[in-house]
Amino acid sequence: MALQEKLRVLRNSIAECDQALRRLEQKSKILTQHVETSVLMAKSREGKEECLFQNEI
């Protein structure tokens, strides 16, 4: 394989890796948002339960 061909293959591989990295970053952001939302919802539920418990006392 000629040097030019090896460089072309290498550039294509770099481009594919870059695209895969961008997709992973997008998925990571979505997962982070989902976890943050879940945590906020859980804290909200805990707060409501504490209020209900204190009202019963």
CA dist., res. 1 & res. 9, Å (int): 10
User: For position 33, what pLDDT does the model report?
Assistant: 97
Which run of H or of E encompasses 44?
Answer: helix 3-56
CA dist., res. 20 & res. 11, Å (int): 14
> 52 falls in which pLDDT band (50, 70, 90)?
low
Please give the average per-residue pLDDT across 43-48, as a whole number: 84
Share of the chain above pLDDT 90, in %: 72
Residue ranges covered by each domain of the chain: 1-57
Instruction: Give the mean pLDDT of the chain.
Output: 90
Place of tokens 């895969």: 20
Q: Specify the pTM.
A: 0.64
Write out pLDDT tens, residues 20-36.
Answer: 999 999 999 999 999 99
